[in-house]
Structure 1
Amino acid sequence: MTSHAVVEAVRRSARLKRVGHGGTLDPLATGLLVLCIGAATRLCEYVMATHKRYLAKVRLGATTETDDAEGQLLAEQPIAHLTEADVARALAAFNGEIAQIPPMYSAIKRSGQKLYELARRGEVIERTPRRVWLQTRLLAY
């Protein structure tokens, strides 16, 4: 169920006009969908600005067409030579504020259309880097 579908279901069942959400969950993600109701919909932007925590299981050396586990595998590189210290060092390079170019397969909207909708039609557009703050940590290798 999409975030929008949840909002619509709450609007219908509770007979409310003003319902919003504090951010879309990625299709493979699990987590909390924060709903803002009535006058609190003005606070949704503040929910979006709060710190979020993600736990990810990553397949090193694989490249897919969608940059996630659902996409078709395009290439695979050997990783046997990588040590835990190598991976931890690579992750550390992402700590702090970085300029991130959003992937084409994302829910970010451009001119009212989600990037992943454009990508599924084979369209690739230039994306503006966004400032994001990351704190990474290797939990297991």
Structure 2
Amino acid sequence: MKLRITIDGKAYEAEIEILEAAESAPDYPPYPPAPSAFVPPSAPEPMIALQDPETESNEKECRSPVTGMVMRVDVEPGQAVQPNDIVMVLESMKMEMQITAPQAAQVKSVLVTPGSSVKVNQLLVEFE
């Protein structure tokens, strides 16, 4: 069988032979055997947060629950706060987190400023 192909305005003639499907199929090596059934490793032991006796939380302290940066501080020493009043806003992994007062109290001291980096369990605010 002859075919004519035109590429960029120039005609080419080609002679083509059609083979049987079995003759034209390439010989591939056999597939490797399937792997044995996947067995996931045993689940890791749950991590238990151990706190130092010095850093145990109490109602007179406000500690950072995450590692991040202080975006805003909404209280100052001497200010009275009610439960769940926003004390400050932290940013961690591009998410903002509102830190609230655990109970009604008066702010004794604020230990961080906007732009400060904080670590997990770091003391942020002390209450009287």
Would the TM-score normalized by the shorter structure come out above 0.5?
no
Q: Which one has a bigger Cα radius of gyration?
A: 2
| TM-score where L is the length of structure 1 | 0.20
Question: More strand per residue: 1 or 2?
Answer: 2
Question: More helix per residue: 1 or 2?
Answer: 1
| TM-score where L is the length of structure 2 | 0.21
Using CA pairs under 8 Å that are at least 6 residues apart, name the structure with larger relative contact order, 1 or 2. 2
